[in-house]
A and B are shown apart, each in its own frame.
Chain A
Amino acid sequence: MTMIKWVATAILALSLAACTTANDGADGSGLLGGLNGGGTPSNAVDQSSLAYFTTAVGDRVFFDTASSTISTAAQSTLNLQAQWLQRFPDRNLTLQGHADERGTREYNLALGARRAQAAFDYLVAQGISPSRMSTVSYGKERPVELCSDERCWAQNRRTVTVIAGAVGS
């Protein structure tokens, strides 16, 4: 991926100021309006689709530095995920925990596991069966935003909910 595209992606993500990131191949801007608690069908959008989950429901939650606490913003996203998962009970998922680059490799791997588990526990509390979910940590190995300042680090401290069959990020 070229650097120009990354910069453009980062600007887009910032301008949206939304709970999605726009670099997962989906055209994020048009779908944001279609989200209404997962309930209202929007025209011609397959709400069971991975694209809908990723962009309209929101496939990721973010964390403060060195923290695995589920923020209120993260709760909103996970509530929507739980509703979607209840609507589509045949879908299984993997929770991928990540850290930013400002930490040592082993610690960040353990921290990513904490973040994945925090989302796991929250979804279980919302009634999602643990048997549908697994967790994995990538530590600081797989950043999505590549600049070396807080703008990008905040996007990289994340747990991404990857629906089975989807390409991980």
Chain B
Amino acid sequence: MLVRFFLILSMMLGATQVVAQQSSGPLRVTIDQGVIEPMPIAVPNFVARDAASAEFAAQVTSVILADLSNTGLFRQIPATAFITQAVGVDAQPAFADWQIINAQALVAGNVSTAGNGQLTIDMRLWDVFGSVEVGQGVSLSTNSQNWRQAAHRVADVIYSRLTGEAPYFDSEVVFVSESGPKSSRVKRIAVMDQDGANVRFITGGQDLVFAPRFAPNGRSVLYTSYATGSPQVYLHDLATDQRRALGVADGMTFAPRFSPDGGRVIYSQTSGANTDIYTLDLATQARNRLTRSPAIETAPSYSPDGQRVVFESDQGGSQQLYIMSASGGAAQRISFGSGLYGTPVWSPRGDKIAFTKQVSGRFHVGVMNVDGTGEQLLTASFLDEGPTWSPNGRVLMFFRETPGPLGAASLVSVDVTGRNLRYVQTPGGASDPNWSRLRSN
């Protein structure tokens, strides 16, 4: 039956196209180094089950579409091409209507609201040419105020089922919002959803701040502030809006990050001309000095298992990347290319280090294997700096600054393959992004 249908369709559309699509196994977009053809996907407007849900249904659909489109892995089929406009989850779709417009994947959904402010999104994902459902239907309920987060979660389900990758849309980015002239930039710590929505400011702009980093549970942020006149690390609780200094009496502290279990802060401390790496145990307040060279050691980042630390140092005469045990001791240099290497960040998968590279007057964001092999530069510009990993390790976000007196910083994302470079929308200038883990609640 199915075979006969495909034969008929093949004759109608031209054999090669359809046969190629039919011949594969499960519907899957593969992310690798090769050139990919985005998968054509149809996401008809989610169907409102009640009048109060109509607006939510349209908004939820557009958030899901934007998430999927921004990956560069999917090509949205415009609604004007649809033969059927409304597809809910209650019945199997008419596959022929979607095959004829060459949709490979079809997302069907409903949105409903209850009197208590609950919003429910139902979604089913279909392999159009296989005429089968991909996974089981999902139903998410949340307070209607959190409709965006629920939409991101639905998009995450679609993304994961079609790519085999872990999800990342339901995540946040903490960054530095910039305004004012280059000589006296006003900088504020801000948090937003991964797609640039829901921006809220954490600091007021009276003190110079930079390089915020999320706690693993997303509930607090570390950053460096000049509140006392000298750079010091602060731990800011997002729920209570209270902060405390983690600093020391002498010298400056900066470049903080949490350990993967959230129990420790690793940071740099400068005494006189010398900058070294320290840890602070948040429970015991015990401090531990990890490096002792007279050179600059900074920008530390833990491996996901918490056992090792990658950092930058100029102990060999120029700024390069090193790895040491999380308890300190001998460090092994891993960067050996020409130019300078800084801001290393360990991938959440554990297999890659992302970094900033400065060579021949240009700045690049790149990745290398943990042993320093396999270096790949993903971007190039006057100033590309400070990569951060998406929760699933597939995407990097960094900031790009333009030259000259009117130069400004923007957030940019790029696939770890180097494809799909995109500017992230922010209010005004933005720098120093740090991606949260996938939200857990």
A: residues with CB less than 8 A from B are 1, 3, 6, 66, 68, 101-107, 109-111, 113-114, 117-118, 120-121, 136-138, 141-144, 146-148
Q: Is the CB of B356 within 8 A of A106?
A: no
Can you show 13 pairs from A to B with CB atoms below 8 A apart?
A: A1-B183, A3-B406, A101-B401, A102-B361, A103-B319, A104-B319, A106-B211, A113-B272, A113-B273, A137-B252, A143-B183, A146-B404, A147-B404
Q: Which residues of A have CB within 8 Å of B182? A: 143, 146
A35 to chain B, nearest CB (A): 27
Q: Is the CB of A142 within 8 A of B184?
A: yes
Proximity bits, B35-57, A CB within 8 Å = 1, else 0: 00000000000000000000000
A169 to chain B, nearest CB (A): 9
Binds A, one of B131-139, B161-169, B380-388, B417-425: B380-388
Q: With an 8 A cutoff between CB atoms, is B348 at the interface?
A: no
Q: Is the CB of B405 within 8 A of A6?
A: yes
Q: Is the CB of B432 within 8 A of A105?
A: yes
Of B252, B255, B343, which one neighbours A113 at CB under 8 angstroms?
B252
Q: Which residues of A have CB within 8 Å of B273? A: 68, 113-114, 117-118, 121
**Bound-state Cα–Cα, A102 to B382, Å:** 9
Proximity bits, B217-233, A CB within 8 Å = 1, else 0: 00000000000011100
Residue of B nearest to A134 (CB): B230
Proximity bits, B66-83, A CB within 8 Å = 1, else 0: 000000000000000000
Residue of A nearest to B273 (CB): A117
B: residues with CB less than 8 A from A are 181-185, 208, 210-211, 229-231, 252, 254-255, 268, 270, 272-273, 275, 296, 298-299, 312, 314, 318-319, 340, 342-343, 356, 358, 361, 382-383, 385-386, 401, 403-407, 432
B182 to chain A, nearest CB (A): 5
Q: Pick the 6 closest A-B CB pairs, nearest first.
A: A148-B403, A146-B405, A104-B342, A117-B273, A110-B275, A110-B296
Residue of B nearest to A68 (CB): B273
Q: Is the CB of A137 within 8 A of B296?
A: no
Residue of B nearest to A23 (CB): B183
**Bound-state Cα–Cα, A3 to B270, Å:** 36
Q: Which residues of A have CB within 8 Å of B405? A: 3, 6, 146-147
Q: Is the CB of B296 within 8 A of A114?
A: yes
Q: Which residues of A have CB within 8 Å of B342? A: 103-104, 106-107
**Bound-state Cα–Cα, A137 to B386, Å:** 20
**Bound-state Cα–Cα, A102 to B362, Å:** 9
Q: Which residues of A have CB within 8 Å of B356? A: 104
**Bound-state Cα–Cα, A9 to B314, Å:** 35
Q: Is the CB of B299 within 8 A of A104?
A: yes
B191 to chain A, nearest CB (A): 19
Q: Is the CB of A136 within 8 A of B383?
A: no
**Bound-state Cα–Cα, A120 to B356, Å:** 31
Residue of A nearest to B382 (CB): A148
Q: Is the CB of B210 within 8 A of A105?
A: yes
B371 to chain A, nearest CB (A): 22
Chain B CB within 10 A, most for which of A120, A121, A142, A148: A148
Count, A-B residue pairs, CB within 8 A: 100
Residue of A nearest to B211 (CB): A105
**Bound-state Cα–Cα, A137 to B251, Å:** 10
A137 to chain B, nearest CB (A): 7
B174 to chain A, nearest CB (A): 15
B396 to chain A, nearest CB (A): 15
B304 to chain A, nearest CB (A): 21
Q: Is the CB of A107 within 8 A of B298?
A: yes
**Bound-state Cα–Cα, A68 to B275, Å:** 14
**Bound-state Cα–Cα, A106 to B405, Å:** 22
Residue of A nearest to B187 (CB): A141
Q: Is the CB of B296 within 8 A of A105?
A: no
Q: Is the CB of A104 within 8 A of B404?
A: no
- Contacts A1-B181, A117-B273, A136-B229: A106 and B358 contacting too (C-beta < 8 A)? no
Residue of B nearest to A144 (CB): B183
Q: Is the CB of B183 within 8 A of A105?
A: no
- Contacts A104-B343, A105-B211, A141-B208: A148 and B252 contacting too (C-beta < 8 A)? no
Q: Is the CB of B231 within 8 A of A109?
A: yes
Q: Is the CB of B231 within 8 A of A107?
A: no
A102 to chain B, nearest CB (A): 7
Q: Is the CB of A117 within 8 A of B185?
A: no
A73 to chain B, nearest CB (A): 20
**Bound-state Cα–Cα, A104 to B208, Å:** 17
Q: Which residues of A have CB within 8 Å of B343? A: 104-106
Q: Is the CB of B254 within 8 A of A106?
A: yes
Q: Which residues of A have CB within 8 Å of B270? A: 109-110, 113, 137
**Bound-state Cα–Cα, A136 to B229, Å:** 8
A34 to chain B, nearest CB (A): 28
- Contacts A104-B386, A106-B342: A111 and B296 contacting too (C-beta < 8 A)? yes
> With contacts A106-B211, A106-B268, A113-B270 known, what are 12 further pairs, Cβ within 8 A?
A68-B273, A103-B342, A104-B299, A109-B252, A110-B296, A111-B296, A113-B273, A121-B273, A137-B252, A137-B270, A143-B182, A146-B407
Residue of A nearest to B297 (CB): A110
Q: Which residues of B have CB within 8 Å of A110? A: 268, 270, 275, 296, 298
